[in-house]
Amino acid sequence: MSELNEIISEYLSAFIMGFAGVIILMAIMMIVQGARLRRMRSRYEAMMGGNGIEDLENLLVNLKNQGDMLEEVQLEQKTLLEAAHTKMRGMKSKVAMKRYNAFGERGNDLSFSLAILDDNHSGIVLSSLHNRENSYIYAKPIEQGETPYALSPEEKEVIALALQQI
């Protein structure tokens, strides 16, 4: 036993120094962790507004409700947009006109053909034939690019011009 006491007394100062080093290292780690914890707590309180968990729960519920409302509004807007797109396809937006001298006599190009079509190639062709004594106006319906009436070369040309438009 005396030998053990001698070994302990011989190395006692080294043990004390080692334990003191470990204690100092642990104290430094505790100070660093405390600083991190303070920073985290200040961030948490800034996020929560200082009111606690109940406000976070209400915030999440409100965000979910707002998300649901946004989805409903988005569906309504999508429906309206699709209806507007469908309506626009039926609008007569392709228009072309050609003036010409229908009878080949002296005079101006007072005759004309006018095509008014939609995206489905449906609409109307108006032709006005003008000479010195009379003026005639003809209207021919167009359904999907076809008509049961005979078309003049000028009417065919004006339909092709209208269909080339974007």
Per-residue pLDDT of the chain (166 residues; tens, 9 = 90+): 788 888 888 888 888 899 999 999 999 999 999 999 999 998 887 776 655 566 677 878 889 999 999 999 999 999 999 999 888 877 778 899 999 888 776 667 889 999 999 888 889 999 999 887 888 999 999 998 889 999 999 999 999 999 887 7
Nearest-Å Rg of the Cα atoms of the chain is: 45
Phi, psi of 128 (to 5 degrees): -120, 120
- What is the C-alpha separation between 112 and 155, in angstroms, rounded? 9
**Residues in Cβ contact with 89 at an 8 Å cutoff, skipping those fewer than 6 apart:** 118, 119, 120
- What is the C-alpha separation between 122 and 7, in angstroms, rounded? 110
> Is pTM, for the whole model, over 0.85?
no
pLDDT of 22: 95
Is there a contact between 94 and 165 (Cβ–Cβ < 8 Å)?
Answer: yes
Is there a contact between 95 and 115 (Cβ–Cβ < 8 Å)?
Answer: yes
